[in-house]
Structure formats: structure tokens, C-alpha cells
Structure 1
Amino acid sequence: MRSVEITHDPISTSLDRDTVAQVKVRFLALNDQRFQQAKQHLSSRQQQCLELLPLLLHFNHPRLPGYQSKATPCGFSNYSPTNQQLQAAKSLAKGFKANTSQARKPPLLALYVMGSTGTIAQSHKSDMDFWLCHSAEIPQSALAELEKKCAALTQWAKDFELDWHFFLMQPEAFSQGEHGELSKEGSGSSQHFLLLDEFYRSAILLAGQIPLWWFITTTEKNAYRKAKDSMIEKGFLRPHEWLDFGPVGDVPPSEFVSAAIWQLYKSITSPFKSLLKLLILEVYLSKYPRVFTLSDRMKMFVYAGQFNTTSLDPYLMLLNELSSYFIERKEFERLELMRQCFYFKLQRSFQSLEKDKRAVELLRAIEQWQWQPISFAHLDASSSWNAQQVMNERRSVINELTASYKSLLDMARHSQPSINVNSQEITVLGRKLHAAFSRTTGKIELINPNISNDILAKFVVLLWDTAAGNWQLYLTNGRWEKSRSPMNVSSNIAELFCWGLLNNIIDINTRIKIQGNLNLTAPEVSYLVNLFSNLELDRYLSPTHTAFTQPAQLSFVAVLTNDPTFLQRDNRLNEKSFELDPLNTSDGSLVKNFSVLSINSWAEVRVQKIGEKLEDLLHWLVGQATTNATVQVRNLSLQSAALIEQRLKLLCDTLLQHTGRHTPEKDAHHLFVTLADEKFLLVHFDHGWQVSSFGSSSDLWQALSQPAPNYRSLTVDPACHHHKLIRASGLTPLTELSSNSIQILFRIDGASAHVYCKDERGSLFYFEQAFHDQDALLKPLHHFLRAVLHRNPIRGAQPMFGIFPIEFYEVLERAETLKLERRHATSAIGNMRLFDLQFCIESLDLALAPSQWQLSAWLNGEAIAPDTGAGLFHTVARTILSHRQSGQRYPCYITDLDLSLCEHQLPHFDQLQTSHYLKLKFQLERALNHALKSL
């Protein structure tokens, strides 16, 4: 293109060769001014890095920073490095020689830097966002190499204290609505047009092709396409000179909502910058559908002859647009808050602006605010604000952020009632917002989003309000004069310490004074500070982007016991060093209350009270998704701390292992039993994990005997094995049993036998009967079980040689430990002079006594009809007694039981279990033997 003299005269918006040439030189002049302004905020070495960046991407040389491989795409269209860039490259990489031969179609199209770079908002802390535009013909494998190179250049820039972010952009795909994935830095598809608006008004071209958008004045999509086709047809620009991201106009209402959600997310770490962007969205939407964006306004000024950085600074334009909007609406409080956010975004003091000759226009705009010097001084000192000031500022900004978002949502729905933004990206952003801003009981709120550098308090008062039943945390001074209002209030002392430590308000050097509660002593305060400081929570507070694509899962749990607030001084816990289990001492449990500190995969931190009983804690643990969580235990009182922590940690680990973690069988539902305060606690599965409490072993056995859909194993808390109640219950040996047989355990106690039966699905049944000898105990039982298996074959079982195993074990005590020894018994009872006694239950109601069931009975194959006026049990007892030569009334036992007629009246799953037969056999025998004794 021929040399064109730049002018400041208004130019026509019609397309012709002279207009295109004048537009190009004006935008390039503005571009060069911004680039020079950008470098003024950088050190000489940083300037050199920025100037050298296009060359580093243009060439692949092993000695240049960022080099990955020969396969990495390189080479810009419409770019030749300057002599200055070449000399810098040679000084950086000895032996570097520029390869002047260029591909016919270079894979890289352009490199831009956008955002605050080159604007009045740029500071030494500003990061740089680069759009690296590439051809659509680059294969995915080569793009991966290019991404690696950009990552390496990002690391290289850090050595010069530069914060670089690269975004690989394919213009054609972007213009058609295709975007990169949502990430921590990338907004994905949540703000297509509005991101483009920011790009067009702030981007500085560093290398390659110029945006076609500069040359087309219309904002309507169809008109934009026609103008583009006309330019291409007439050849006003050569193909290698331009690229196209499309127009900014016709922003759909749904994008205002999705972009607002993105800005709310960004406000978590950059609240002032995000609020400014959220407010400009509100301005745009208020003019819908005739939205005239700031980039459109900037282009209009360039065409009118104004193309210097002073009048077209993107942030000054933003300030003027927002000021006009709030003044017109007479929303002066919002105007002041906007100005405050703008001032914070500058990250420069008023005094420095007064001394900066380049800031004349900015200073003139700020002076129109008519602020008092004290206002500037207050904001300039924000880096040293205390926690109360930071908290007040954050509250104001967050309130405005949420109010602005609601206003945008109302406007968008009014513009398009059927608006729908339920994409996965919006779901992810919504989760991030929920994690950052939602307020729930016990949730720890982080109050300092990069406002102050240090909000650590030297002095803090913790006041217990007896009437309200809560702790109040106040900032104070060396004279212990409290602030007017408390910083935080909670009934849970752990929540206040956790809140203070995570917000860096409290540390080990903070002096803390307790008022209103004598239970919390100075040594315990120091102990609590150290306790929470040593939890090392930081590792759980930086969630990955991927974590938000899934529902939140617990990643860390600290069980907190014995809040000293509620432990009366005259009734403090006594160390029970001679007792192994602090949950079961002679004085009861040493643990009086439970709380939980939890962190989930979204980095939400909560401290919540659980209750005063161990079953409350167990219920919470099994009700949460704690499978992959790290679990710790901390005792908040100095008394018995180590003993309690060790005991509860073992309990928690064992419990979680058997309720989901490392489950050996996919469909197994495990039973877990522990003991606390002389009560049995059973963790079991019933439409979700449940915890039940039982005051006696008989009640526990009733629960253990319930039918199960699949095999379930039993685990007894190992710390309880030696407790007298656990030993008496007979549970411990049952934990050693397997799932491939019916197993019977018996323990002889003088003239009695304690019998424990585990059926094919792990249901457990216990009964006691008189003991004469081993055969008399085992053979009838074995005979009965074989009859049951004949009537009720176990579905899905893999029997050995056609016979499902039945195993017998005797429980023996050896050196204060219980041992199992295998015993063998046949089912042959012919030589035992036993009667063949069969029962059939035709109908039953488990709430009624067996005498009220409908029954049939046979003795040695002959049916027994009940005598007139006597029940069936008395008739059967009399018949049995008539067959006994001795006439003795010793117990009799059922040898077979038919439940086919009453099966539908029994609780079961796909079929009856052996335990059904055993339980009903025992009930019938008890009724029968009672009748026998009464004769």
C-alpha cells in the first residue's frame, strides 16, 4: 500500500481505497502510542522482554526462551523482526541466526496484548493477557506444542517479574461462537461479544495481521458481512494483512447474564475491577437493543479525527460512560462507589498522579469528583487497613456486585423473557460463586480479597455473652478498648478461631483476652491458636477448575471435641490413664461434645456443632461423602487430649473403611458396632447409612438379625474388643467369619450354651439353650439347617459338590482372648432318640404370640390335631410327653419348618433367609417348651 499522510479530518464511513488507507494509519498510530505508553511502566529489562516476544514466537531456535521442538508452529504472517529485535535475540542466544525464509502460509496470524496494558490503569502490578492468533489448519498435536511453548514463555517472564497469560485464538472459529474451555483465566463462551468489545478497545497489535473490524463501521451482523464481502471483492486490503473476529453488535440478553456471572466469579479476587465491568454491562443492557459499545465509540472518535491515547484511553472512556449513567439516573451513592472502585483499580496514589505529567487527563477527570484530601488519603492507605475496615469495604462492594447482577438479570429477562443460560459453563461459574459468596451457618467467610496487605490484629477480645449464648470477637488496642461492634459472632469457639486464623487476623503472636467465661483459660487459648495453626489447611484451599465441574466432595474433616466453653470448671474431665477407652470409663465418656471443621473440593470451610453424643458424630460422618477425605481428630480442651484424639481417630478410620472406603465387595453393606457410655451403637445401611443406639445386647441382636439384600460383614470397633459388654455379647468372634457358608458359633457356660448363628447373607441370630453334650446341641441344629436348605435353596450360591457348607465353631477363652476351634457335626439324628417334629406356619402376625398364629404340626410323620379346648402347643406337648418312657419334661426341638404359606407375611428381599427359619423356630420352641413345663 502506498504511503499515506495521516490527517485529523473527519473521514467518510463509506468504503473506498483512500478511506481504508487513512483508517489503517490512524489505528496504527494509536496502536504505536499505546505500545510506547505500555513500555513506560516497565523496567528496561521488562521492555526488552515485551519487545522480543513476537520474535520468540516467530522463530524456533533451541537457544531461544520457550523452545520446545521443531514441530512447534512458528512464523507470523505480515511480520518482519526489526534490527533491534534481532540484536536482542542474538545477545540472548549465542549463535542465533534469523531464518529469513518464510512459509507460504505462516501458521501464526497475529499477537496482541489486551486489558490494562498501555492504559492509565496499567501499573507495575498489572498482568498481561496475550491473544496469540493462529491458522485453522494447525493440527491439534502442533497446537499442544504451541501451548507448551507459551507456558514456557510465561515461566521465563516470571524471572523478570512479568505476569503473562496466553490465549490461543482462532479468529474464524471465535467469530462463529467457538471458544476455548472455561478455566481460571479464560471465560469460555460466557462472554463472547463483551470480551470482543474489551479486545477491540484495548488491544495492542505486537505482530501480524490487523483487525478487519477497524474498517467496518456498522455493528449489525448482516450489514457487517456485506461490508466485509465488499472489501474483499474490491481488494482494499490484501488477504495477509487482516484477520476477523466479527462485529461487536447484536449482543444477546443471555450473554449479559453469563458475562455478569463471569465477572462475579472474577470479583472473588479482583472485586473493584470486576464491579466496573459489571456496571458497564448494566449500562449496555439499559440501552438494549440499540447497544453502542465503548469500542464502537472509540472507532467513531478515530474516524472523527481523535486518535491519541489521552482522549481514547479505554479506562477513561469507561469512567466517563459510567459517570454519565449514574448522574442521569441520580444514583449518587452508586456513583461514589464506582469512583472508589475506579481509583482502587489505578493502584496509584493521588500524590503520584499529581507528579506524573502523563496523567494530566486522568487527574483532570478525578478532580471533577471534588473529593476531600482525606478521602484520597484514606483510600491510599488501603494496603494497611485493619480487618474491620477491610470487612466494611468488602461488604459494600459485594452488596453492589450482587445488586448489579440482580438488576442485570431483571433487565435481561425483560428484554427476552425466555432467556436460558443453563449451560455447563454457567453451572461451573455458579458453583464458584456459591463457594465464594453463599452464606450458611458455620461457613468461614474470607474477608480480604486483596484489599489490605496485612490485617493481623495485635490485640483481640473474646467476649462470652451469657444471655445470647455466643462468643463475640472484637478488635481492640493495648488498653483493651473494644471496637464498637464485633467482627464475628458464634456460639462455637472453634468457628471464631478458625475464622480469625484463615483470615490472617489472629496468629500465635496475637494477644487474646477472654471476658465473660471462666471455663476458657489463657493456656487453652494459646493451645487453640496453635491447634488450628498446625492443621495446615492451605493445601485444601486452592481448588482446581475441574473440581467445580462436579458436585462438592469433602476433602478434609477435623473432628473437634470438648469445647471448653461448656465444660464446667468444677467438673473438669479427669485423666483416666489407667483406662484404655476414654469413651467408656467408669465415669462415662470423657468426650462431652462434638463439632466438625470440614473443607470440601470447592474450598468451602465450615465449622458446625454436631451434638453431645458419639452417635451424633457417627451419624454425621456416615451421612457425608467422606470416602476420599483426610480425617483428623483434635481435642479442644487440654484435658486428656492425646488419649481422646488417638481413640477417636482409630474409631473414625475403622468406621469409614467399612462404610465405603476400600469396600471389598461392591454391593456389600457392612455392619459396624461400637460402644459408648454403656450403649451399643450400630452403623447399618437402610436407604442410606444409619446409626442406631441400643441399651442392651438383646436389642442389638434383634437389629443384627434383620434380613439383608446382600451379604454384609460385621466389624466391631477394635478398641472395644476387651470391654465387658462386648465380650458378654459374643460379637467379637463373629467378625472373623466369611461369606461362603452358614456358620454357627457356640460358647459353653456351665449348663447353658450360647449359640450365635450367621446365615448366608450375614444376618445374625443369637439364642441360649440347655447344654448336655456337644452332639445333643449340634446334631439337631445341623439336621434342622439341612432341612431348611432343602426347602429354601440359596439362590446364586456356589455349593461344594451340591451341598452348601454349614460350619460349627466353639468359642474358647485362652489367656483372656477368645479363640475359635472348628467342630464337626453330622445331621444324622437316628441314634439320638429324637422325635421328628415338624411345623407349618400357615399365617402369622409377628406382633402376636405364636399361640395366635395358624399352625399345623406333625410328629414322626403323623399329623397332630389340637384337642378341643386346648391349643396346638399343649396338644403337641402332651403327645411328645406320652411318647417319652421317662415322662421327663426336658426341652424338645423342632426338626423341620415349612414357611411357604406365610412367606408373604415376613419381611424379606428376594427370598427368605436361613435366619427367618431360626428366629421362628426359636419362638415356636419357646412356646412349646413352656406348654410342656405346664403339663
Structure 2
Amino acid sequence: MTRPHEIRPDLDEGIDRKVLSQLRARFLKLNEGRMARAMEGLSTRQQTVLTLLPLFFHVNHPLLPGYVSGSTPAGLSNYEPDANALAEAQRLTRSFSYKPRHGSNPPRPIHGLFLMGSLGTLAQADQSDMDVWVCHGPDLSESELTELRKKCQLLEIWAASQGAEAHFFLIDPTRFVRGDRDTQLSSEDCGTTQHYLLLDEFYRTAIWLAGRTPVWWLVPVYEEPSYDRYTHTLMSKRFIRADETLDLGHLAYIPPGEFIGAGLWQLFKGIESPYKSVLKLLLIEVYASEHPKVHCLSLRFKQAVFANRLDLDELDPYVVVYRRIEEYLTARGEPERLELVRRALYLKVNRKLTGSSSRTQSWQRSLLKRLAHEWQWDHRQLALLDSRSQWKVRQVGSERRALVNELNYSYRFLTQFARNEQTVSLINKRDLNVLGRRLYAAFERKADKVEFINPGIAPDLAEDTLTLVHAPNKKESGQTQWGLYNGSLTAIEWEHFAPIKRSRQLLELLTWCHRNGVIDSSTRLALHPGSSDLSEFELFNLLGSLQQSIVLPLTTVAEEPLLRASVPSEVLILVNVGVDPLKHHRDLNILMTTERTDSLSYAGVRENLVLTLDQVTLNSWNEVLVSRFDGPHALLDCVRDYLNNLPDGLQQPTLRVRCFCHNRAQFIARRVEEILDTAQNLLLSKLNHRYLIQVQQHYHVLELVPGQVNHVALATLPALVDYLGEELASYSPLHLDPMALEDHDLALVLPMGQPDCIQVFYRINENRADLYVLDEFNALWQQRLPYHDEQSLLVPLQRFLQSIQYRRDALLPMDVAQPLSLDTLYYQLLPSGPVRARRVEARPAPQTPVNKPFYDVQAIVGKAAPEQVQVTLYCNQREFSELEHGVRLFSVVAREIVEQRRETERYRCYITDLDLSGLLGDGQSSSILYLRYKADLERALNEALEQV
């Protein structure tokens, strides 16, 4: 029997109605074959659903599923139920009796039913959905459409009761052609932007169930650009009747923006399920590379029908897609990408070709077998793919590389295409940026980031048994590493195996295992701790902490966080992982009892028990990062980095601090958490705080500027005092850790700081006294002086502070609002004497004695040579300058002072006034700078007095 020739209708030569009938018959024959294949893969109850759907849309009957009311639109064009459908309906409800619709031309508002999805294709599976397009007339009212939607919802519920997942989509062909349709039409649709690609998929995959057939079937591919004219001629010359066909539009041109929109959507889905997206991404690439003259697959499909090439296998929707991609990649010379496409298709079909099949071989298995043979796949390759459910880390690793390369290539291709076509709207540009960040977050490697190796490649990477080994790193002398091995291995065995993964740090390895599901609650772990102090108890709790902080599976990141920089959402800090801070005591079997229990300054030797910190962060982009801190500044460096990564605003990360080491674990964790909480609260207050912490005998200050937190390490108490005495540009509160500066006067002084005043503190200790001043910006000045009485101690300082306040006020322009004069507040530290000060008491300002006039010594400091200053002193208005006396200035002034004094007793001399305008110009400076110059000048002057 010879195959009929190719049909090539030509309007100019005239069209035979028989030819059109022949064309329609070919499409229906192919449709019948697909329908039979779809039915073959369904259960009896699911088959009943497909058989009865046309009847349910044809009649309204209270006893049938989907009944809403007698006014629900019903009547399916060109449909009369056959005996099989009526028999199935009567099996469903015995009292149902079908009555044909009366009248010469009864209304039939339902124009056609079409089945979309993978039913009847190579990829049909037991769980395949039934996506049904319900095409209806354009004249249905809103109330009628509401009733029809309700009917569809009831039919979905009934189908589910029969084991079928059905979804119905109402289509008004007139509106559809205009691009006006329901945005919920398809989950593959990504909104309303991919109209033509959706239509392309419909024409080449839909199975006609009943009603009118598409007029598109009858338009030759070469007439596609003239589709409207051609169909108009068919209708106007009555080659076809209006009630025979429905018109959903043509595919002569696909706008380039559709490729971008569809590509973005498939890439988005491909991040979590790459195999499912590979075929569609490659097809989009093929189409985009042909633009603007895209010969889409539906046109190829139609051309095959016109040519009478009705091979069901070769016209299978998935085979058609594969063949076109195969042509494209072969022409480009990209065999690796083609092999990935083949694997993606094989895994999508999910019919194992290895192992014996007890059931009758399905047509899908036969077709897949033929394809695998064509691809020259051997048994080993098939067995590997068939064992995908058992794939573990090693198999997933190589596959991930190919998939990630493909997704990244697709992203670059789409970006370049959008640029070339100049189709980047603001929405597309944002979508491209967001998608780029999704790909970056999911797959890009960077420092400290834990690599996610299983984006939908294998269902479960969890191992039954693993061995964790800590051993010397043979490639780096003096260094150690952690290795993870398959199985339960002894100390002798593990050296003969290659590890699944190795890491310098334990937490990096454990976090990788957790993030990738390599270790789960059922995994048994053998531990060889080596030189570490890691115990099985600690290991178990470390894994538990990771599971609590990073709950898997991670939810998909919304678009909004990707429009901003990533910020931490969960932070887990683990202290002393695999380290015992008191190991030397444990080794010597020493049980320590001490009242000094601070974890940063423990016992009499003031040991720091916080030796290492591992920080695990899950951020707002779903990236997991691990940072390690060790060394003398580990804690403060960790706190600084944690604070510098905090987001602005109220939404702060969840912080957990855990410690499971051998000694004092809970106390250590609590101490670290207190410091972190305090620092975070101070930072978020945005008051320019400094936070002072003592570790052993060393001091640390965190300067809490949002986003620029700085850690200042100070080795000694004098270094700390020097730091606290540095000039500040604005008020900076100082928060003192409760355990810092124990037994020191500063522990009482520093927390008292207040803005907009000067605070003077003094402590009397027999024949000497300590003065502390906190200036208006909270900088500290300290001086130790001989003590005679409170007046001689405080009045010179009081007069000096009054003088500099007067000078600064005088420098202000007259039109500037006068600031409030700084109050000077006085406090005494008590008790006096050599014992520890325990309290602070406010004191009144000292009173200047009327019968004891002060000897005025005024100093003016100005600029001299570069980096040098020039000093001029005035004693009772008499000038003494360096210009006149040179290095003997202070000796000359000292002699003058002695000569002017009436008393023979030598007592201290004070600077009562100081002018720094020669140094500062018109600028202002805080009181601390004046106090520093005062102290230096007084030191030089009083040393000279001793020599007179």
C-alpha cells in the first residue's frame, strides 16, 4: 500500500473540500493514537474520567458529577455521546438517562475540550496531571462563566476521587487570540508573557477530546504568515463551516521578549530541578538563535502531518523536542551538552532499562530502548542512571558540574540575547538581575561558603555509616585536617581509602554534610579524634545544633530579599569545637576551685577559656557560610565580624551560641552570648558606643559604628588609659563589661559618663590623690597629685576649666545661638585610703577661699616649625616666651614664681588659663586637649621648680 502524497493546498489553484477532510482525518488519526497511548497508561478509574468528561460538559444532570444548576452553560459542539460513554455514565449513576438536545440548532456554548500535559507522551507517568482546556463561546455572561468555573471545580474534586489529578482552564478563543487570558492558565506559563510559546506547546502536544477542531490544522506551514487571510477565505468561501473549527491564532512570529520570559522562568525552576528544565531551556535557546524567523516545533509537527509522516514515536512531543535540540547541538559541535540533554530526557521518562521487567513491555520502554541504542549507551551507563535514587556524593559531584555549567550558560545566553534584541524592559532587567543573584547564591563558589552539591540531582545523599578522622596533613607540615570516609573504618583501615571530603576545620566539614544531607538522623558515625579533644557527645550535639539552626529543606528565597544585599538570618556560634580549654588541668588530674569564674579571666592565673569560635551563618539568599576565629583576639574578632554583618532595621538574625567542650561549656557559651547580645543592643541603639571588655590582663574596645565596627586591642592598663584619653569628635558613651577593670577606680568612673558636662572624680589616698576627668565627649583624663586638702586639689582645676570655657565661648560668632555652658560635676570615690573603692558620691563644687589669692599662670601655645609648638607663659601678666628664653623658659618662669611667693614652703604650681587658638585656628576642640596640654606644661614647670 503506497502512502498518500504530501498535501499542499493552494488558494489560487482552488481547494478541494475532500483535501481538507483528508487533512483533518490525518490529525484525528494521530490524535487517536496519542489518546490510545494516554489511556494505556491510566488505571480503569482514570480512564473513566477521560471518557466521561465530554458528556459532563455536554449535559446538565443533577445525578452527574459537576452539576451546579440547570442554568450552567452546557452543550458541546459536534458531540453526541457514544455507547461506551453512556454505559460508563450509567455505571456511575444507574438512574441517569441521556436525552438528546432538542431543536434544529440547540445552543452549544462549549466549543471544544483539549487535554494538555504529558499524557500520551513518552514522559507519561502514574502521577501525570490532566490539564484540560475548556474552550467556550465568546458570548457567555459573567454569571454563566462563574457557574462554569464552579462546575470545573466540582469536576476536579470528582476526578481526584477517581485517582486523577485534573485541572480545568476556561478559554475564550476570541480573547485568547488577543492575548487576553487567565494568568492561572498554566504553572509553566510564568504569568501572561509567554502567549505564543504556550500556543506552540498546545498545537504540538494537545489531545483533542471532543468538540470543534483547531482551524490551524488546515493552514499549510507556508501560509502561516498569511494565516488570517487564509482562514478568512476558508470561512467566507464555505470550505469549512463556522461550527466545525475554533481559532486560537497562528505562530508566524514569536516576540523575542517571550524567550527571555520563558527562559527566566525555566532557569528559576532549574535551580531546584535542573533535569526538568534542561530540555525546555535548550529549546528556548534554539528558538532564540533562529529569531526572527523561528520555525517552531508546532510548525514542524504540522509539516509532518501534511507530509503524511504520522509515525507516533517520531511525533511524540518529547522526541520532537529532543530531535530539534540534537540537530542544534550537533551543528554547534557540543557533544557534552547533547549527552546532558540525553541524560535529562532519560531521567525525565524514568523507565529503567536495566533489570528484568515482569510486566508487558510498554511502548515508552521500547521507544526509550531504541533511543539508548541509537545513543550507543552501554549497560554500565544505563545502570548508573537507573540507580539515581542511590546516587551519593561522588556521583552527584560530576553531574552537578555539567548542570551548573548549563544553567550558567543559559543565563549568559539570555542576558546577551536580551541585550542584542534591546528587549530589556525594566521588569525584564529586574528579573534578570534577580535570577543572576539566584544562580550566584545557589552555585557560585566564594570564601567561607558551603557548596550545595545536590540541586535536585539525587533524591537522598544520606549515608548509612561514615567515619570521621582527625589526622596530620601530610602536605602541610605541622597542620591537621579532618576527613570523612564511607563506611565504619578502624584506625588502621581508613588510611587505605580516599575520603568523600576533607577540610581544615571540623565545623566546615560538618556543615557541608548537613547542608547536603550527607549526614541525617539515621547516619551512624565512627570517630577517630586524633590530637583533638572531640568526643562523641560533642559531635552529636554539634550536629544537633546545625539541624536546629539550618532547618532543611530551605524554603525558596522570595524576590524581595534578592533585590537587596544578603544579610544574616540565622547565626550559630560554636565555641571551643574539639578543644578543651582546661586540658592541662585535666591531664594533670587537677580539680580547680576558684571564686574567679569569669570565662575570659578564669581563676587566679586569669585564663581565657574562649579559645576558638566557629560561626555558621544562613543568610537571606539561602547561602550557608562558615567562619573560624582563633588566636588571642578570637572572641573580639568574631564579635566585630558578626556586628558588621547585621542588617539595618528591626529584622535581626536569630543568634544561637553553643559550647560542648569538656569543661565549663555552659558558662562559656552564656558568657559569649551575653557579650554578643550586649554589643548588638549597643550597636542598634546608634549612639556611637564604645564597649570595653577585659580578656585576661588585656583590654579590648569595640567602637560601635554601624557597618564599621572596629576592634582596638590594648595590651596593658596604661595603653588603655592612653586610648581613653584620645580626643573625640562627638559624645561617645562607654559601656563597661561587668567583669572588666576589677579592683580599679576606673570600674566606678567610666560607667558614670554623661554628655554635655565635665565630670571630675577624685580619690584620696593618704598624702596623694588621683584625679579623673570625663570631658563633654566622654574622653578620660587622669592625673596623680600630692594631696594637702580638697580645696588645693580641686580649685586650680576648677579655675582652669572655667577659663577654657570662657575662651571657647568668646570664639563663637555673635549670631550663633549660644550653647549652654558646660556644667562641671564633682564626685569622690570612697572609701579613701589604700583599700578598693566601692562607691561614688557626688560632691559640691569647691569654694575659692577669699583670703588666699591665686597666683595666675597663663599659657599660650601656638605653631612653630613643622610638627613643633611654641609656648609663651604669663606670670601675673608678665610675658615669658621661648623666643626670648629658649630651652630655659621653664627655669626662668619657675624662678619668677618662687620670688613672687610669700611662703617659704614649696608647693605645686598650676596652669590657670590656656589658649590654643594658635594651634586650632577658628576651630573648636574638646576639653581633653586642653587638659593634656595643661598636664604637660605643669609637669615641665614643676620639674623646674624643684631645681630652683
- Normalising by the smaller structure, the TM-score range is 0.7 to 0.9
**CA distance in 2: counterparts of 1:555 and 1:23, whole angstroms:** 61
1:635 aligns with 2:659: yes
Equivalent position of 2:7 in the other structure:
10
Matched AA of 2:9: S
User: Out of 618, 630, 643, which is 1:622 matched to?
Assistant: 643
Of 267, 270, 277, the match for 1:274: 277
Where does residue 784 of structure 1 map in the other structure? 800
Correspondence for 2:525: 512
How many angstroms does 1:36 deviate by?
A: 7.3
Residues 1:655 and 2:679 are matched in the alignment: yes
Distance between the aligned counterparts of 2:793 and 2:177, measured in 1?
Answer: 83
SS of aligned partner of 1:622: helix
The within-5 A match list for 1:723-762 is 723=740, 725-728=741-744, 730-731=746-747, 733-762=749-778
**CA deviation after TM superposition for structure 1 residue 432, in Å:** 1.0
- 1:681 paired to 2:700: yes
- Residue by residue over 1:879-920, the C-alpha shift from the partner in whole angstroms, topping out at 9 and shown as x without a partner, is 3333321144422333332222321598xxxx4223333333
Contact 1:498 1:532 in 2 (8 A): no
Match of 2:481 in 1: 470
Is 2:545 the counterpart of 1:542? no
Residue 688 of structure 2 aligns to a residue whose secondary structure is coil
Q: Which amino acid aligns with 1:807?
A: L
Contact 1:514 1:520 (C-alpha < 8 Å) held by counterparts: no
Taking the aligned partners of 1:258 and 1:869, their CA distance within structure 2 comes to 83
Tell me the CA shift for residue 552 of structure 1. Answer: 0.9
Say if 2:549 and 2:572, in contact at 8 Å, map to a contact too. Answer: no
Looking at structure 1, the residues matched to 864 and 227 of structure 2 have their Cα atoms a distance apart, in angstroms, of 84
Q: CA deviation at 1:631?
A: 1.8
2:597 matched to 1:580?
yes
Check whether the contact 2:77–2:109 (CA below 8 A) recurs between aligned residues: no
For 1:355, the aligned partner's letter is T
1:896 aligns with 2:913: yes
Answer yes or no: is 1:447 the counterpart of 2:453: yes
What is residue 97 of structure 2 aligned with on the other side? none
Shift of 1:81: 12
Q: Map 1:379-398 onto structure 2 (within 5 A).
A: 379-398=385-404
Distance in 2 between the 1:593 and 1:198 partners? Answer: 58
User: CA, structure 1 residues 870+552, in 2 after alignment: closer, same or farther (shift >3 Å)?
Assistant: closer
Match in the other structure for 1:123: 125
8 A contact 1:316–1:362 mirrored in 2: no
2:445 equivalent to 1:425: no
Give the secondary-structure state (helix, strand or coil) at the position aligned to 2:945. Answer: helix
Moved more, 331-340 or 921-930: 331-340
**CA drift at 1:220:** 11
Alpha-carbon separation, structure 2, partners of 1:752 and 1:108 = 106
Q: Do 1:540 and 1:556's aligned partners in 2 also have CA atoms closer than 8 Å?
A: no
Point out where structure 2 has 5 or more consecutive residues left out of the alignment: 94-100, 102-107
Q: 1:896 to 1:116 in 2, by over 3 A?
A: farther
Deviation at 1:498, TM superposition (A): 1.8
Tell me by how many angstroms 1:542 deviates: 1.9
The one-letter code of the counterpart of 2:654 is: T
**Offset of residue 499 of structure 1:** 1.6
Q: Deviations over 1:2-31 (max 9, x none)?
A: xxxxx9973637698969998888778877
Q: Look up the equivalent residue of 1:634 and give its one-letter code.
A: R
The residue that corresponds to 2:98 in the other structure is: none
Preserved CA contact (<8 Å) 1:670 1:715: yes
Q: Distance in 1 between matches of 2:432 and 2:122?
A: 32
* Deviation of 1:655 (Å): 1.4
The 8 Å contact of residues 258 and 426 in structure 1, kept in 2 or not, is answered as: no
Amino acid at match of 2:557: T
Q: Distance in 2 between matches of 1:120 and 1:475?
A: 38
Higher mean alpha-carbon deviation, 13-22 vs 34-43, is at 13-22
Distance 1:856 1:543 in 2: 73
Aligned residues: 888
State the AA in 2 paired with 1:809: Y
C-alpha separation between the residues in 2 aligned to 1:870 and 1:187? 85
What's the CA shift for 1:671?
0.6
Give the C-alpha shift of residue 553 in structure 1.
0.7
Superposed displacement of residue 314, structure 1: 1.4
Contact 2:805 2:821 in 1 (8 A): no
AA aligned opposite 2:515: L
- Preserved CA contact (<8 Å) 2:575 2:612: yes
**Any idea what SS the aligned residue of 1:699 has?**
helix
- AA at the equivalent of 1:819: R
**Structure ID, larger Rg:** 2
Q: Letter of the aligned partner of 2:283 in structure 1?
A: I
Aligned to 1:877: 894
Give 1:816 shift: 7.7
Which segments of 5 or more consecutive residues in structure 1 lack a partner in the other structure?
1-6, 68-73, 93-99, 101-105
Instruction: Please name the residue that 1:603 is paired with.
Output: 622
* Mapping of residues 194-343 of structure 1, within 5 Å: 197-198=200-201, 200-202=203-205, 247=251, 249=253, 252=256, 262-284=265-287, 287=290, 290-305=293-308, 310-326=313-329, 332-343=335-346
Task: Summarize deviations over 1:789-808 as a string: whole Å, max 9, x none.
Answer: 33335999x99995443333
Superposition deviation, residue 538 in structure 1: 0.8
Separation in structure 2 between the aligned mates of residue 869 and residue 214 of structure 1, nearest angstrom: 110
Q: 1:135 and 1:650 mapped to 2: Cα distance?
A: 70
Shift of 1:679: 1.3
Cα gap change, 1:304 to 1:81, in 2 (>3 Å): closer
> Aligned partners of 1:768 and 1:929: how far apart in 2?
14
Residue 792 of structure 1 aligns to a residue whose secondary structure is: helix
CA contact (8 A) 2:346 2:368 kept: no
Q: Residue 472 of structure 1: SS of its match in structure 2?
A: strand
**Contact 2:391/2:458 (CA < 8 Å) preserved in 1?**
yes
Paired amino acid for 1:552: S
Taking the aligned partners of 1:883 and 1:484, their CA distance within structure 2 comes to 93
> What is the CA–CA distance in structure 2 between the aligned matches of 1:701 and 1:150, rounded to whole Å?
80
Provide the C-alpha distance between the structure 2 equivalents of 1:740 and 1:79, rounded to a whole number of angstroms. 88
What residue is the counterpart of 1:460 in the other structure? Answer: 466
- Amino acid of the structure 1 residue aligned with 2:445: R
Letter in 2 for 1:471: W
Measure how far apart 1:346 and its partner are: 1.0
3-state DSSP class of the match of 1:341?
helix
Please list, as runs of the form range in 1=range in 2, the aligned pairs for 1:163-178 lying within 5 A after superposition: none
Q: Structure 2: which amino acid aligns with 1:564?
A: G
* Alpha-carbon distance between aligned partners in 2 of 1:450 and 1:10, rounded to the nearest angstrom: 46
The TM-score, its normalising length taken from structure 2, stands at 0.76
1:512–1:426 CA distance, 2 compared to 1 (3 A): same
RMSD: 5.8
Contact 1:779–1:829, Cα closer than 8 Å, also in 2: no
In the TM superposition, what are the counterparts of 1:175-186 in structure 2 within 5 Å? none
Q: How far is 1:597 from its partner? A: 1.2
How far does residue 712 in structure 1 lie from its aligned partner after superposition?
Answer: 2.2
After superposition, what is the alpha-carbon deviation per residue over 1:463-484, rounded to whole angstroms, capped at 9, x for unaligned?
4242234222221367857885
Picking from 784, 789, 807, the partner of 2:825 is: 807
Deviations 1:128-179 (A, max 9, x none): 77899999999xxxx99x9999999999999998888999999989978999
Tell me which amino acid in the other structure corresponds to 2:800. Answer: F
Match of 1:96 in 2: none
Give the Å deviation of 1:122.
Answer: 2.7
- For 1:916, the equivalent position in structure 2 comes to 929
Alignment partner for residue 716 of structure 2, among 672, 675, 696?
A: 696
User: Which secondary structure state, in structure 2, belongs to the residue aligned with residue 834 of structure 1?
Assistant: coil
Offset, 1:275: 2.2
- 1:803-840 Cα deviation digits (max 9, x unpaired): 44333333446998843332221686766532343322
Q: Secondary structure at the match of 1:901?
A: helix
**Amino acid paired to 1:754:** D
Quick check: 1:355 aligned with 2:355?
A: no
Q: Tell me, in whole angstroms, the C-alpha distance in 1 between the residues paired with 2:667 and 2:847.
A: 51
Are the aligned partners of 1:635 and 1:645 in contact in 2 as well (CA < 8 Å)?
yes
Aligned-pair CA distance for 1:934: 3.0
Distance in 1 (CA, whole Å) between partners of 2:515 and 2:876 is 79
Alpha-carbon spacing, 1:861–1:569, altered in 2? closer, same or farther (3 Å): closer
